[in-house]
Amino acid sequence: MAAGSAMVIPGVSATAKMKDSHPASSYPSPRKGSGIARDFKYNSDGSFKVLQLTDTHVVFGDQRSERAYENVDKMLQIEKPDLVIHTGDVIFGRPAEESLRKILGIIADHKIPFAVALGNHDSEFGLTRTEVLDVIRTIPYNINTPADKGISKATNDVITLSGQGGVDRVLYLFDSGRSIEVDGGGYDNVHADQIEWYDSYSKEFTAKNGGKPVHSLAFFHIPPAEFDYSLRLAGNDGWTFIGHMGEHIGCSKLNSGLFQAMKLNGDIQAIVCGHEHNNDFVMQYMGVMLIYGRFSGCDTVYNDLKPNGARVFEFTSGQRGFTTCVRLNSGEIENKVFLDPPMSANFRAHKEPKEK
């Protein structure tokens, strides 16, 4: 995608370790899906931190990839997350397996659990999406489940976070695919069977929670059409925009109905994506936060939003909302904000000084 001129709108730790998980069989097993990827517990202080990496675009043996390797290692050292979620475009060339092992092996070296939601480019270099996932699953500390033949694409997963009262937060990973051959083609989206898969889990969690939806976030690569809608309607609705926008939204031409399903279920607080290298904004649309990760990659692809970095999510046991910010490779924290959707139009981010 061609990058436009950057528009900047200013708004503004927990120890990483493996948690004991409940076996997947202790959870409801909807008609489709291979079960819970992992059930995590909050730390003793009630905290849990997720680091989102996105669009690392590495190529094994290509010196231009070095900036991504350095960035991922630095983000892990600074943030010490409990879980890493990579929202795709992990690699950008052959050899695919070696490229995957090189970049994701950095996470394994830190002994931090991680999951991947594949991007559109990840299956372009000699391996199918299922084969890419099969390689990823052999890397230590990966928690993705095997691809389910009954669901479109590969990386569709459910991760839970439990407090003393049981599961109180769910993280859904969707495989948003590569491209579609409709009306001249374009980017893919989350398909109907994936929405059914999500819907079955969502309803089961709600039923187990006494009829109250369990607060959840959804992570995938290609943003849904609502990211575009939110910008088009921003002037009318008055929603606050936090962060940077340097290019148009690269969403599918088709709306699959995923957002509608999420709204009807009432559990999704935020949709978190990658795909656009020059965007890292946070915006609200119909009571759901739409969030871009920070470009975590290198010079194998365009990237005008510098320095690279990552997005951080901090959850607290028993707390409905969550905190998110961008951690820059320079060490600074940018646009830190507490989100508890649905929110009024005047939520604001604040800057924090550089942490040594």
Residue-wise pLDDT for 184-206, tens only, equals 668 889 999 999 999 999 999 99
Q: Is 81 contained in some domain?
A: yes
Q: Is residue 16 part of a domain?
A: no
Residues in the chain: 356
Residue 165 included in any domain: yes
Q: Which domain holds residue 128?
A: 29-349
Residue 160: pLDDT above 60? yes
Residue 8 has pLDDT above 60, yes or no: no
Identify whether 14 is part of a domain: no
Total domains in the chain come to: 1
pLDDT, residue 232, reads 80
Contact 276, 3 (CB under 8 A): no
Is the pLDDT at 121 greater than 80? The verdict is yes
- Label the pairing between strands 216-219 and 268-273: parallel
- pLDDT for 65 equals 98
10 Å Cβ neighbour count for 4? 12
pLDDT of residue 28: 39
Could you count the other beta carbons within 10 Å of the beta carbon of residue 92?
25
Instruction: Return the structure tokens found at 212.
Output: 């109250």
Indicate whether 7 belongs to any domain: no
Q: What's the rounded Cα separation, in Å, for the pair 82 and 216?
A: 17
CATH code of 123's domain: 3.60.21.10
Report yes or no on 245 lying in a domain.
yes
Give the integer Cα–Cα distance in Å for 324 and 310.
Answer: 11
Residue 37 lies in a domain: yes
Whether 342 has a pLDDT exceeding 70, the answer reads: yes
Q: How does the average pLDDT of the chain come out, rounded?
A: 87
Q: Token pair 């927990």 is at which residue?
A: 14
Lowest-confidence range among 79-88, 236-245, 272-281, 283-292?
236-245
List the structure tokens of 261: 């399903």
Adjacent-strand bridge partners of 7: 245
Determine the Cα–Cα distance for residues 42 and 338; give it in Å rounded to an integer.
19
pLDDT, tens digit, 9 for 90 and up, residues 66-95: 999 999 999 999 999 999 999 999 999 999
| 276 domain-assigned | yes
Query: For the whole model, what pTM was predicted?
Result: 0.88
Residue 54 has pLDDT above 90, yes or no: yes
